[in-house]
Amino acid sequence: MKQVIELIINGEPSEVIVRPNELLVDVIRDKIGLTGTKKGCGAGDCGACTVLMEGKPILSCLTLAISCQGKHIETIEGLAKDGTLHPLQQTFVKKGAIQCGYCTPGMILSAKALLRKTPDPDPEDIRYEMAGNLCRCTGYKKIMEAIIEAGQGAHEGGPERVRI
């Protein structure tokens, strides 16, 4: 039976009607209209659908929307503030850590959670925490460099304006 749930998406409450088997990724993209969250494999293997729920990365393709009642969800659309890209968005662009961009929203959200936990990560920390996010085109070296630079505040306005 369909049910009304409330999701707090990027700080904004949204009420949506969902079926019990409806996936969070489909609700975010098709009902809320935030298509920055990508659906790749749909099977928990690629990380493209990563969003933050209560600050922690989750795979929205494996999460039932109905289980997220009242939760705070952060998507890529919530990162830029007042026309300024988030530090991770800036360093991904600066380092060329983006090609087709399909993996990028999930990568950046996983990296955001990583930097919150470990502000000055070494390559091993990054390899471990980002293992679930796959990129088919850029290669991982530039992505790693972008995450390290964002942690060090090497972006516009940094380090004093770091908003990880």
Residues 107, 143 contacting (CB under 8 angstroms): yes
Coil vs helix vs strand at 153: coil
- The backbone torsions φ and ψ at residue 113, rounded to the nearest 5 degrees and listed phi first, read -65, -40
The nearest distance, CB 146 to ligand FES, in angstroms, is: 12
Of 127 and 163, CB closest to ligand FES: 127
Nearest-approach distance from CB 34 to ligand FES, in angstroms: 15
**Which of 24, 37, 47, 57 is close enough to bind ligand FES by CB under 6 A?**
47
Q: Is 39 in the site for ligand FES (CB under 6 A)?
A: yes
C-alpha distances in Å from residue 125, one per residue of 81, 129, 144, 147, 161: 27, 6, 10, 11, 23
* Beta carbon nearer to ligand FES, 41 or 80: 41
Residue 41 interacts with ligand FES (CB under 6 A): yes or no: yes
Angle between helices 140-152 and 87-95 (to 10 degrees): 140
Window 59 to 78, contacts with ligand FES (CB under 6 A): 59, 61
Residue 94 near ligand FES by CB under 6 A: no
40 binds ligand FES (CB under 6 A): yes
125 vs 103: CA distance, rounded Å = 19
